[in-house]
């Protein structure tokens, strides 16, 4: 069984005071069990002032996580916030690792993850995963490299984000150190009572008009229905100038047609050839449709998916796409408030925004298959 503790601080400038506040909330002397792992979500300035390192150095366990533009635990919701979620257990254990994402990142992932897994005869129940935001390396290709190294152990987590237009301070976090180009992971051993769920768009917000992807290269969409992808997207309402400036506000819905739920993809930009750069792989022969995201849909999908999880959960970890955050406009805390409304009096929870969500889905045979998502909120339920 895993017990969950949470704490938060807004103390940005005084690292010692921030650490003291976190330790006071956790009351580790009375609450900490044999093995523990900390999960950090924080505004990037906590790293810049040194408060992140001060807090993590004060803790008697390892920490993993990522920066975000807004996070929440229990009653605390804010942009400028440091949140810590502690998983602690007498019968589960945890191991952590950080892996540089360099030119030969596939080799690094294979070598270091294999080394981590070889340290124990037991296979991890799942891997908490924090991906770096690197423009030239998509989340899907990192995920594929991890799957090849682990044989498909379930992955759950997020890609780092921040509050800036260029995302220049987005970092992954490992034991108080922050990284621009490193994958950070935590292996969870011995857990048996966990499950995953996602919410994306209501079916009513997805156009019934469908097409087939006829040519692609990884996350580059080249052809749809035998035509150039941009020609097709312009025909159904996309504006070429918006894509050229990187405005990925319309979700592309991909149905892999092998029994899993459809996944959403952001259209981020155009290549010089007019191909469309997307937020995840665009497999040939998959079905393509277009969705629409707005505040009402965000709140409804979050509520409908989270409510059934609460009664069977001792804790819920959740990461929601930045696009969902942007759709809230001036009501930017509304989704976090919805999570608090549903969960705060029933279970411990973590909520944070993401630049890409990592969560497995069951296929038609019930086997979990890992996916990198956009426009989605993902949940890991522990009980």
Contacting residues for 147 by C-beta, under 8 A, at least 6 apart: 155, 370
Residue at a domain's end among 230, 256, 290: 290
pLDDT in tens, 299-311: 999 999 999 999 8
One domain, residues 113 and 253? no
Whether the Cβ atoms of residue 65 and residue 41 lie closer than 8 Å to each other = yes
One domain, residues 105 and 16? yes
One domain, residues 274 and 239? yes
One domain, residues 53 and 7? yes
pLDDT in tens, 185-236: 999 999 889 999 999 877 777 787 889 999 998 888 999 999 998 888 888 7
Whether the Cβ atoms of residue 221 and residue 213 lie closer than 8 Å to each other = yes
One domain, residues 118 and 249? no
One domain, residues 128 and 54? yes
pLDDT in tens, 240-293: 665 555 445 678 888 877 666 788 887 777 788 888 888 778 889 999 988 878
Q: Is the pLDDT of residue 382 over 90?
A: yes
Question: Helix, strand or coil for residue 113?
Answer: helix
Report the alpha-carbon distance of residue 47 to residue 54 in Å, rounded: 9
Tell me how far CA of residue 85 lies from CA of 161, 198, 382, in angstroms.
18, 20, 13
Q: What is the pTM of this model?
A: 0.90
One domain, residues 176 and 207? no
One domain, residues 190 and 322? yes
pLDDT in tens, 34-70: 999 999 999 999 999 999 999 999 999 999 999 999 9
Residue at a domain's end among 290, 306, 334: 290
One domain, residues 194 and 210? no
Q: What is the DSSP string of 45-104?
A: HHHHTTHHHHHHHTSSSEEEEEE-S-EEETTEEESS-EEEEEEEESS-EEEEEEEE--TT
**Per-chain mean pLDDT for the chain:** 91
Contacting residues for 57 by C-beta, under 8 A, at least 6 apart: 19, 176
One domain, residues 188 and 110? yes
Residue at a domain's end among 254, 272, 290: 290
Residue 90 pLDDT grade (very low, low, confident, very high; cuts 50, 70, 90)? very high
Whether the Cβ atoms of residue 48 and residue 169 lie closer than 8 Å to each other = yes
Q: What residue numbers bound the domain in which 73 lies?
A: 3-199+296-382
Tell me how far CA of residue 307 lies from CA of 26, 69, 258, 297, 323, in angstroms.
26, 25, 27, 16, 22
One domain, residues 363 and 277? no
């Amino acid at each position: 069984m895993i017990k969950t503790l949470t704490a938060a601080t807004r103390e940005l400038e005084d690292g010692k005071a921030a650490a003291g506040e976190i330790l006071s909330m956790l009351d580790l002397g009375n609450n900490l069990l044999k093995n523990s792992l900390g999960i950090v979500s924080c505004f990037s300035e906590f790293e810049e002032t040194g408060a992140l390192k001060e807090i993590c150095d004060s803790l008697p366990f390892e920490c993993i996580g990522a920066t975000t533009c807004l996070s929440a635990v229990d009653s605390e919701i804010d942009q400028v916030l440091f949140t810590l979620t502690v998983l602690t257990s007498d019968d589960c254990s945890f191991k952590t690792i950080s892996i540089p994402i360099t030119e030969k990142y596939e080799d690094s992932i294979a070598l270091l993850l294999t080394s981590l897994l070889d340290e124990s005869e037991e296979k991890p129940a799942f891997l908490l995963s924090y991906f770096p935001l690197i423009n030239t390396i998509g989340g899907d290709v990192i995920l594929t490299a991890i799957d090849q190294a682990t044989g498909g152990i379930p992955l759950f987590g997020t890609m780092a984000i921040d509050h800036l237009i260029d995302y220049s301070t987005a970092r992954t976090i490992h034991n108080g150190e922050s990284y621009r180009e490193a994958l950070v992971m935590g292996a969870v051993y011995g857990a048996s009572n966990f499950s995953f769920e996602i919410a994306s768009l209501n079916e009513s917000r997805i156009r019934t008009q469908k097409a087939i992807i006829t040519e692609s290269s990884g996350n580059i969409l080249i052809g749809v229905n035998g035509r150039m992808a941009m020609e097709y997207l312009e025909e159904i309402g996309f504006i070429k100038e918006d894509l050229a400036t990187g405005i990925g506000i319309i979700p592309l819905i991909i149905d892999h047609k092998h029994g899993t739920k459809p996944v959403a993809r952001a259209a981020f930009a155009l290549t010089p050839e007019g191909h469309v750069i997307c937020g995840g792989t665009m497999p040939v022969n998959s079905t393509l449709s277009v969705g629409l995201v707005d505040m009402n849909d965000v709140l409804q999908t979050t509520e409908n998916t989270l409510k059934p999880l609460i009664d069977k959960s001792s804790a819920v970890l959740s990461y929601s796409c930045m696009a969902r955050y942007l759709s809230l406009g001036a009501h930017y805390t509304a989704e976090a408030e919805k999570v608090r409304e549903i969960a705060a009096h029933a279970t411990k929870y973590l909520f944070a925004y993401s630049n890409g969500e990592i969560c497995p889905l069951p296929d038609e045979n019930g086997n979990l298959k890992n996916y990198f998502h956009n426009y989605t909120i993902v949940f890991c339920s522990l009980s």
